[in-house]
Chains A and B, each alone.
Chain A
C-alpha cells in the first residue's frame, strides 16, 4: 500500500496548508459577513429557522427544525469568538485534506501533477467543480436567508459536482469531439434541470450584503483551490526527489 500511503501523506500536508490559508481568508472576508447577517436572523424571528420558514410548508418546517440552527439552544454549539473560529479552522483543515485526497487521486489517475502550473490548472478545475458550478444554481447563502428543502439542495449539489467533474474529465482526457460534446452537455445539464429554489426569496438580509458574501465566498474558494493545487504539485515533486529516491515506480 505504498501508493496509498504516499497519497494520504501528500494530501494531509497539502490540505493542512490550504486549510490554514482558507481559515485566514474566511476570518477576514466571509465570517464578518455571516456575523452581520445573523443580526437579521435575530431581528426576524426568535432565533430559529423553523419560525421564519412557516410559509414554506409543514415538511420544510420539520426539516429545518430537525437540521437545527439554533445557536445556544439544546444542542451543543461552539461559543462565539475564539472557540467558534477554532472549529471553523478545524473544519477547513479536515475538509481541505478530504479535497486534497480527491485531487491527488484524480490527478494521479491522469498521470500526476508535474509542476506548479499544472497544479494551478488542477486547482482551478476543483474550483469549477466544487464552487463555481453548484454556486450558479445555489449561490452561497447567509443565515436568515430562505432556501428550499435541505435534502433536495444536497442532492442537486452532489449531482452538479459529479456531472461537472465528469464533463471536465471527458473534455480534458478524451480526444474526440463527440466525447467533448457529451462533456459540455453533462456540465450544462444540472443547470437546465435547475436547482431547488425557495418558495419566496424574501429576506431581511440586504441584497448588497448578500452580493458581497457571494463574491467573498467565490474568491476565497478560488484561492483555496489554487493553493491546494500548487501545494500538491510542490509536495509531489519534493517526494519524488526525496523520500522515494530509490528506483521504485513513479511516486503515487
Chain B
C-alpha cells in the first residue's frame, strides 16, 4: 500500500465510525421524540406519569 491509499482507508473508516455513531444518536432522538412528544392519544396516556416525572411538556 502506498502511504496515500493508507491515509485514504483510515479516513474512510473514521467516516464510517462517525456515521454509525450519528445513526445511533438519531435512533435515540427518534425514540425520545416518540415517547416524549407523541400526540397519539394512547401513547400519551400510557406515558402520562412518566412524562410528568421527566418534566416533559405535557397537555
Residues on A lying within 8 angstroms of B by beta carbon are: 1, 3-4, 7-8, 11, 26, 30-31, 34, 49, 64, 66-69, 71, 75-78, 84-85, 87-88, 90-92, 94-95, 97-102, 104-106, 108-109, 131, 134-135, 138-143, 147, 150, 153-154, 157, 217, 220-221, 249, 252
Nearest residue (CB) in B for A92 is B50
A252 CB → nearest B CB, Å:
7
A-B CB proximity, top 5 nearest: A101-B28, A98-B31, A105-B25, A77-B45, A91-B50
Instruction: Let me know if B12 is at the binding interface, CB within 8 A.
Output: no
Q: Is the CB of A34 within 8 A of B25?
A: no
CB-defined contacts of B54 to chain A, threshold 8 Å: 95, 131, 217, 221
Contact of A67 among B22, B32, B44 (CB under 8 A): B44
Q: Is the CB of A75 within 8 A of B45?
A: yes
7 pairs, A vs B, C-beta closer than 8 Å = A76-B45, A87-B46, A91-B46, A101-B31, A138-B55, A140-B55, A154-B37
Nearest residue (CB) in B for A221 is B54
Bin the interface of chain B by size: 35 or more
CB-defined contacts of A34 to chain B, threshold 8 Å: 49, 52-53
Q: Is the CB of B42 within 8 A of A105?
A: no
B32 CB → nearest A CB, Å:
4
Nearest residue (CB) in B for A86 is B46
Q: Is the CB of B49 within 8 A of A84?
A: yes
How far, in whole Å, are A137 and B36 apart by their CA atoms in the complex?
Answer: 18
Contact of B59 among A69, A95, A131, A138 (CB under 8 A): A69
How far, in whole Å, are A135 and B53 apart by their CA atoms in the complex?
Answer: 12
Q: Is the CB of B17 within 8 A of A252?
A: yes
Q: Is the CB of B45 within 8 A of A141?
A: no
Contact of A98 among B13, B29, B53 (CB under 8 A): B29
A109-B18, A140-B55 known; A8-B47 Cβ under 8 A: no
Contact of B31 among A75, A85, A94, A147 (CB under 8 A): A94
Q: Is the CB of B36 within 8 A of A220?
A: no
CB-defined contacts of A94 to chain B, threshold 8 Å: 31, 35
CB-defined contacts of B51 to chain A, threshold 8 Å: 91
How far, in whole Å, are A199 and B53 apart by their CA atoms in the complex?
Answer: 24
A3-B20, A64-B59, A147-B57 known; A88-B49 Cβ under 8 A: yes
How far, in whole Å, are A246 and B35 apart by their CA atoms in the complex?
Answer: 38
How far, in whole Å, are A217 and B59 apart by their CA atoms in the complex?
Answer: 18
How far, in whole Å, are A169 and B45 apart by their CA atoms in the complex?
Answer: 35
A157 CB → nearest B CB, Å:
5
Nearest residue (CB) in A for B53 is A30
Q: Is the CB of A91 within 8 A of B27?
A: no
CB-defined contacts of B37 to chain A, threshold 8 Å: 154
A162 CB → nearest B CB, Å:
10
How far, in whole Å, are A154 and B56 apart by their CA atoms in the complex?
Answer: 8
